[in-house]
Amino acid sequence: MNIEDRYRLWSENPYFDEETRLEVRGITDPQEIEDRFYTDLEFGTGGLRGIIGAGTNRMNKYVIRKVTQGLAECVCDHGPEGMEQGVVIAHDSRRYSPEFALEAALVLAQNGIKVYLFDALRPTPELSFAVRQLKALAGIVITASHNPKTYNGYKVYWEDGGQVPPTKADQILARIEARENWLGIEPMSITEAKQQGLLQIIGEEIDSTYLNRVKSLALHPDLDALKGGKLKIVYTPLHGAGNHLVRRALSELGFSSVSVVREQENPDPDFTTVPYPNPEIPATFELAKQYGRKLNADLLLATDPDSDRLGVALRTHQGDYVQLTGNQIGVVLTYYVLSQKKALGALPDNAAIIKTVASTDLADEVAHYFQARVENVLTGFKFIAEKEKEMEEGGWGTFQFGFEESYGYLAGDFVRDKDAIIASVILAEAALYYQEVEGINFFDVLENIYQKFGYYLDDQESLVLAGKRGKEEMALIMDSFRQEEISQLSGIPVAKIDDYERRVRKDSTTGETYDLQLPRSNVLRYSFVGGGFVMVRPSGTEPKIKFYFSVKADNLTAAKDSLTKVKDEVMNRIAKIRSVIEA
């Protein structure tokens, strides 16, 4: 079908409800018609994500139906046993999330597949846990994570609780693409699904089991119970799914001085108190800082709408609050977990951490200091989960901690995705331990790490390039970088260049090339001599291209100066490339 045929189908065919047909007929801008219908919303390795609205390139119940039908057919390939294992479904607080979750559940039921549907919004990591706990074949979570309010998404998980692996994602995609016709996918009624035993509502029984596992990760539970109330915490769920479980986990461990930001406590699909609900950006902490100053809080915590990412701000010695970067949080938690397990005699000989290639090299140095193995994987937490599974099944490493610079963290073996509830518990305990046992705070811990291993600073820039033209521009930027020989950036020599699209590493000093073992991905990473890097990659979930910067120096001033210069040089290169494209 071409754009005109798709537009006509969606605006006229009675299969689409009246609201959808009216919305489509109301679009008069040819460019918007093209953007909504020139392609299908892309189903990637983890699922799909897009702007809510009518059209094949938007998030709506008909896209949900088509994608779920593709998933259903793959589940049915596993026969009656796989259909009985079933699919677990959760959702966050976004617009249409409950409706999309129910739509997916009833399409699966229509295919004879058992569905476990959460009774209300739940964090994404609990969905991962529930898939494992219930021994389901697959899972779905309706969420757009930290994206703006206009977005929603659909993430697919497989039986190990991790995001669907590439081979299975390809099978699902093949089923989706094989169905040219959008018509004829009808969900079962709720009444019939329940009567046939195909729809089971779940809730507290999963919550309590999950929280017991989360609390088991505490390294100093006696300290938490005895002195947890001394750590004053302000927490905001940013109108999302983390509210009850984060507060309950902390409370049950002994952290009794937790105050919630009331204005951001309840679900709100419009996220009216923040520009957009991403704990990476400073604006999300403005209300929490007001609470912190009033309550003299030690620690501010923020989770995103599906509660898989955690942002942190700390009170300084001067009484103000400074937000930590995702890398700083990851390094401190890596240090805390490894150092405390070693002190307790609980660090195994084959201990390992897993991080992404976009995350700081400082964590590698910390892990090696404690004689722990480091596995670097592609950007995306699903690769961390896949490596953990590989390690577990192969018996060649014992997973201790994993993180990515974009505020995702994980410990334990019962969840296969980043988990802000787990991260909140470990971070609160670490803050309590350093405060009550060592008499220092996280700033002191970071300073000690920097003095020991070097001052690593990092930053990130993004260019939003939306629509068809945006995709073309991103491709041209990546091509331009690949065609240029870059041996240094701002005077810092490049040691090696990793091209994950071509799966080749080039040693800049010798010119030799080596095969990379990680999967193919459109990523370029320039590693500096002595530590640090610059990395370029188009986002897999948003219409933007991302630039990652990490530098190392002997002192903070030199690191800041170096970071500024490297960023300026790279962004100037990008500006020149774009000027040529636009010309």
pTM score: 0.94
What span, in angstroms and rounded, lies between the C-alpha atoms of 29 and 33?
Answer: 6
pLDDT digits (tens, 9 = 90+) for 253-281: 999 999 999 999 999 999 999 988 999 99
Q: Which residues are catalytic?
A: 145
Q: Which CATH architecture is the domain 456-582 placed in? A: 2-Layer Sandwich (3.30)
Distance CA 90, CA 109 (A): 16
pLDDT of residue 583: 61
**Phi/psi of residue 239, nearest 5 degrees:** 70, 20
> By three-state DSSP, how is residue 441 classified?
coil
pLDDT tens digits, 192-219: 999 999 999 999 999 999 999 999 999 9
**End-to-end alpha carbon distance in the chain:** 33
Please give the average per-residue pLDDT across 342-347, as a whole number: 98
Q: Within its chain, how far is the Cα of 163 from the centroid?
A: 11
> Residue 540 pLDDT > 90, yes or no?
no
Residue 580's pLDDT band, with cuts at 50, 70 and 90, is confident
- Sign, CA torsion 340/346/347/352: negative
Give me the chain's average pLDDT, please: 95
In the chain, which segments carry CATH 3.40.120.10? 39-209, 231-322, 324-418
Name the β-bridge partners of 551: 457, 532
Q: Say which CATH superfamily domain 39-209 falls into.
A: Alpha-D-Glucose-1,6-Bisphosphate, subunit A, domain 3 (3.40.120.10)
In the chain, which residues fall in CATH 3.30.310.50?
A: 456-582
Strand partners, 312: 301
406-463 pLDDT, tens digit per residue, is 999 999 999 999 999 999 999 999 999 999 999 999 999 999 999 999 999 999 999 9
Give how far the C-alpha of residue 343 lies from the chain's centroid of Cα atoms, to the nearest Å: 31
Query: What is the CATH code of the structural domain delimited by 324-418?
Result: 3.40.120.10
CATH classification code of 231-322: 3.40.120.10
Find out whether 522 and 478 touch, Cβ atoms under 8 Å: yes
Q: Give one word for 522, left, alpha or beta, with left for phi > 0 and alpha for psi -120 to 50.
A: beta
| Higher pLDDT pick, 58 / 182 | 58
